[in-house]
Structure 1
Amino acid sequence: MMLNPADSRPLYQQLAALIREQINGGALAPGDRVPTEADLSERYDTSRNTVRLALDVLRNEGLITSQQGRGSFVRSEPPMRYYASLTGSRQRRLEAERKRDTFGQQIEAQGKRPKQVSTVETVAANAEIAAHLALQPGDLVALRRRVQYADDEPLQLGDSYYPLTIVQGSKIMDPADVAEGTDQVLEDLGHTPTRYQDEITWRMPTAEEATALHLGPATPVGRLLRTTLDQNDLPVEVYQVILPGDRHVLLYEVEA
């Protein structure tokens, strides 16, 4: 099939659609090498620039990856599943007998090795965080920052904000890994996480996020902002997780 100049879509989008169809239909299987820019340019009688733009589209969608000096390949691994409704599950924590947090459980269930690198600091809450924690802007909160990995590849960023009056002196203030998970620490402190409120938005990453997550150009991220409320409906944590759009599927299980 050739590109159609009469089509309202730009030529690069037409070409991206053709290659996408080949990937989704199995003509290009996971791990297969995508034809070179020169081959695609000749096959579809179009410019190399059109080909580059088409491949950029597919790369940003997470369908293909590029390797320096080797070319482009169909992504061989499916996107990681982020089970939002199970993250923080008390039942999962109890089943793990305080030995595994829910992030580690999710990554291991998908055949990967989880790792988290954390830092902790005390900061002044901005207006958004303060509103979610029922505090005043400028009130001090504990901020626990995490870079979360799967098989040593950065997968997501997670920032947790806690009222300092609740977590001061607890394991949450120690950057060392908390094997049982911070939700369990909150429960031990008398604040059992009981329900969550999620806000999900999509945007382009900041420069810092793109660097930390090794993002390619024009790769969007999902931002999930979760407010945790305890048994007294008191907000005890605001958790912001940044999910690269090219490597995640966000899943919820909702009872009918």
Structure 2
Amino acid sequence: MADFALPGLDPTSDRPVFKQIADHLREAMNGSALPPGSKVPSESQLMTHYGVARMTIRNALQLLQSEGLTVAEHGKGVFVRSRPQVRCLASDRFARRHREQGKAAFIAETEESGGKPSVDSIQISEQEASPDVAKRLGLPAGQSVVVRSRRYLINGHPVETAISYIPSHIAQGTQITHPNSGPGGIYARLEELGYRLDHFDEEIRSRMPLRDEVKALKLAPGIPVFHLIRTAYADDGQAVEVCDTVMSSDAYVLSYQLPAR
């Protein structure tokens, strides 16, 4: 059937047959038997091996697809999903040293991990701040903000989208309103304007993606996203940016160093 051996069914188990089959294939994917990009045995091969009906096999394969482990290519078969390079979302990713080197956080961390970072779908506009953004920025209702929307990719694969909101009285007339915000990104520009960054507050939630997010991040079925909202504060306590970020959960590991004192 394949270059590896799948176990047989356990007739004494109370676990449904299709889930047993999915378990076997999942174990092969987690090991080296079915690496990313490899073809999963066909329905006919699996039917012969397990001695079950086609619908049972299809239920097993559908389960794996719903978990984001496989992708079906019409006329070719089912393949183990190739995962994007994992980026470590570290607690020090916005350290000043990155900006001083002329690199925004995403660029610096991705290059350190051996990946090739890129940014596309950059859109810039000015609009009235939503009540939530205005509250986070400490702005009166109706105040305008400069909005920077973009998508981040690693080795050409999209891994996150981000929308930054900066008070218009800070951003207008600066490079922050240009598609290329310059070395070190918008945080470097803010510090050049005299807003020395002191700290960031972040809120992270996990949820299933919206339809537009599935499309933008090319998400497989069953893959949730991290929804992160970050507020940047200057050393005088003023909030100078809110960033609304959606990240593909299988492209990130959240890694934090927490002091014990």
Q: Could you state the TM-score of these two structures normalised by the residue count of structure 1? A: 0.84
Q: Name the residue aligned to 2:41.
A: 35
Which structure: larger Rg? 2
**CA-to-partner distance for each residue in 1:190-246, whole Å, 9 max, x for gaps?**
112211111111122222222222223343211111111110121111111111123
**1:40/1:178 Cα in 2 relative to 1: closer, same or farther (>3 Å)?**
farther
Q: Please name the residue that 2:95 is paired with.
A: 89
**Do 2:129 and 2:144's aligned partners in 1 also have CA atoms closer than 8 Å?**
yes
Q: 1:79 Cα deviation (Å)?
A: 4.2
Pick the aligned partner of 2:9 from 2, 17, 27: 2
**Aligned residues: percent identity?**
35
Query: Aligned partners of 1:56 and 1:237: how far apart in 2?
Result: 42
Structure 1: give runs of 5+ residues left out of the alignment: none
2:104: which partner in 1? 101
Q: What does 1:226-237 correspond to in 2, within 5 Å?
A: 226-237=230-241
Change (3 A) 1:149 1:79: closer
Letter in 1 for 2:196: T
Partner of 1:147: 151
Give the whole-Å Cα distance in 1 for the aligned partners of 2:165 and 2:63: 35
Structure 2 residues not aligned, in runs of 5+: 1-7
**Residues 183/58 of structure 1: CA separation in 2 closer, same or farther (3 Å cut):** farther
Aligned-pair CA distance for 1:108: 1.7
Residue 4 of structure 2 corresponds to which residue in structure 1? none
Q: How much is the aligned-residue C-alpha RMSD, in angstroms? A: 2.6
1:61 and 1:245 in contact (8 A); partners too:
no
- Distance (whole Å) between structure 1 residues aligned to residue 84 and residue 216 of structure 2: 21
- Does the alignment pair 1:199 with 2:203? yes
SS in structure 1 of the partner of residue 250 of structure 2: coil
Distance 1:241 1:197 in 2: 13
SS of corresponding position for 1:182:
helix
Tell me, yes or no, if the aligned pair for 1:86 and 1:102 is still in contact at 8 Å.
no
Give the equivalent residue in structure 2 for 1:18. 24
Report the 3-state secondary structure (helix = DSSP H, G, I; strand = E; otherwise coil) of the residue aligned with 2:196: coil
Q: Distance in 1 between matches of 2:131 and 2:198?
A: 24
The match for 2:5 is none
Query: Structure 2 matches for 1:72-83, cutoff 5 A?
Result: 72-75=78-81, 79-83=85-89
Tell me the distance in 2 between the aligned counterparts of 1:183 and 1:237. Answer: 9
* Secondary structure, counterpart of 2:119 in structure 1: strand
**Structure 2 counterpart of 1:230, one-letter code:** A
Q: By how many angstroms is 1:104 displaced? A: 1.0
Contact 1:62 1:247 in 2 (8 A): no
Q: Name the TM-score, length of structure 2 as normaliser.
A: 0.83
1:1-256 equivalences under 5 Å are 1-2=8-9, 7=14, 11-59=17-65, 61-75=67-81, 79-94=85-100, 96=101, 98=102, 100-117=103-120, 118-256=122-260
State the shift of 1:150 in Å: 1.7
CA distance in 1, matches of 2:93, 2:66: 26
